[in-house]
Amino acid sequence: MNRGKARLAIRAALKGAMLTLALAAGAGPVLSAAPSKADRELEERLRAHIQVLASDEFEGREPGTEGEAKTLRYLGKEWFNIGLVSGTNDPGHEWFAPVTLIAREPAGYAAQFLVKGRRFAVAKDQVLVLTSGKRSLVREAPLLFVGKASSPEFTRNELAGRVAVLLDGVAPEDSPEVSARQNQLLAQGASAVLTVLDGQRSLEQVSARRQRTGYALSQETLGGDLEAFITRDAMAALMKGTGRTLADLSNAATQPGFVPVPLDLSVTLEATTQETTIRTHNLIGKLPGRRPESGAVLLLAHWDHFGICAEPPAEDLICNGAIDNASGVAALTEVARRLARGPQMDRDVYFLATTAEELGLIGAHAFAENPPLPPDQIVAAFNIDSVAIAPRGSPFAIVGRGMTPLDTQIAEVARAERMTLVPGSEANEFVKRQDGWALLQHDIPAVMVTTAYGKIDRMRAFFDGDYHRPSDDLSHPLELGGAADDVRMLTALTRRFADARRVPAKTK
């Protein structure tokens, strides 16, 4: 008997008074269609993992902390006991593949203006200089007023060696547009961009946004762009000595045919950042196949979360990440258990618990850049993220539908498993917010196949609620019905894609 249909039947039967009636009559089908012992056991296993991983003792699983050590020790032991072997394919680093992160935050800056060759003091609270690199400097660069530069047509010569003076003049919510204009000016040869905050943004707001630390893989090249911001009043005062006024120039900038205006001003700008190195790890396990030369299937879930994320007097300081993503690594672990118990597959199956997803999918990028096998041998990758959302019997969505060659086979497996797949690509709205996206950038076909996005409003409610807050914890009951369905589906999907006869290797 197929469980999927039975579940639907019981759902209908349980509505309203039917429940009492059916139970009173001792109706066989209703009772026999209740979650089986195996179903309940699977949910209990998932719950047990989540209760450990999202406990306060694990301190929110922040990369580079004791919380990481506890998380990796727990998962490594579970995976070893299940029967996986190390999947790093690196005898020097079994199981744990090192990932080195660099965290950068602004450390200091200076701006010195020269008006017609004479120094002009601008108070430190009127100007701000930022860099994406370790230390960036431009010395005595002439200023070129470019207005809003909304449709800039500059020659490289015009901008080269100069600092472009750009009018902000837009609401804070439009600031991505400003950064696009800044980047364009830099790409066209400007040494730096000095943005005049003549709109709604204050210097404090710009500064507050940038105090947040930026993260990168240690081997990534450091950007060295210089961005400076100055208040409107300070800019107006600076220009007094040049024979022009900011008001006149701002006006001129709105007229058709406006051309950039060189100012009788130059500036020395310097900004530095402080760097912290964080040593963290991806955990990689493997279930060896009979025919490893035929390729591999990859299953992944991020283990990391935000650690201590609030400050006193708040009572709950830990972002435990019960749903995000203790639920995902729990599901990953239970898929591993099921696959390890079954017959050996053709292909190797890799299990990857990534680090630093929350810092920008960094662990997944690190895996793809330094993979334990040639990436083109990965036939399919399935990411598992925040799956404790939907109840038992919910429909599945493919996050990344239409972006890989996997969809047809996924639909076949869903049919065979009597699982419902929602049509359409609505869930793709979230495709960039998960580790699969990092793999797609490296041409690894990666999707999420999950009940969590089957009804997108449920996921939205989570995003609007406990998501990335201390309340994503064990203080309320976990919905694990859909997560258990995800485990069954992912187990079937992995068996299908690990079958070299049914799914031929990629042709190059």
In the complex with Zn ion, the residue whose CB is nearer, 197 or 478, is 478
The candidate with the shortest Cα–Cα distance to 46, out of 416, 336, 281, 286, is: 336
In the complex with Zn ion, the residue whose CB is nearer, 64 or 169, is 64
Outline where 275-374 has alpha helix (H): 328-341, 362-369
Shortest spacing between CB 60 and Zn ion, in angstroms: 11
In the complex with Zn ion, the residue whose CB is nearer, 225 or 358, is 358
For 499, the 3-state DSSP assignment is coil
Cβ atoms of 61 and 321 closer than 8 Å: yes
380, β-bridge pairs: 297
Shortest spacing between CB 277 and Zn ion, in angstroms: 23
128, β-bridge pairs: 229
Shortest spacing between CB 387 and Zn ion, in angstroms: 13
The candidate with the shortest Cα–Cα distance to 241, out of 111, 116, 113, 112, is: 116
The candidate with the shortest Cα–Cα distance to 193, out of 170, 167, 173, is: 167
In the complex with Zn ion, the residue whose CB is nearer, 78 or 358, is 358
Shortest spacing between CB 468 and Zn ion, in angstroms: 6
Shortest spacing between CB 306 and Zn ion, in angstroms: 8
In the complex with Zn ion, the residue whose CB is nearer, 196 or 399, is 399
Give the CA-trace dihedral at 352, 356, 361, 364, to 10 degrees: -30
| Cα Rg, the chain, nearest whole Å | 28
Shortest spacing between CB 433 and Zn ion, in angstroms: 8
Instruction: Determine the residue with CB nearest Zn ion.
Output: 324
What's at 473, amino acid-wise? Answer: D
Q: Residue numbers of the site for Zn ion (CB under 5 A)?
A: 324, 358
Q: Read off the tokens for 299.
A: 């299953």
Shortest spacing between CB 99 and Zn ion, in angstroms: 17
In the complex with Zn ion, the residue whose CB is nearer, 59 or 324, is 324
Q: Read off the tokens for 459.
A: 């996921």
The candidate with the shortest Cα–Cα distance to 387, out of 396, 377, 375, is: 396
CA distance 194 to 318: 39
In the complex with Zn ion, the residue whose CB is nearer, 62 or 168, is 62
Q: Residue 199 has what DSSP assignment?
A: S
In the complex with Zn ion, the residue whose CB is nearer, 357 or 485, is 357
Shortest spacing between CB 467 and Zn ion, in angstroms: 7
Q: How far is CA 507 from the centre of its chain?
A: 30
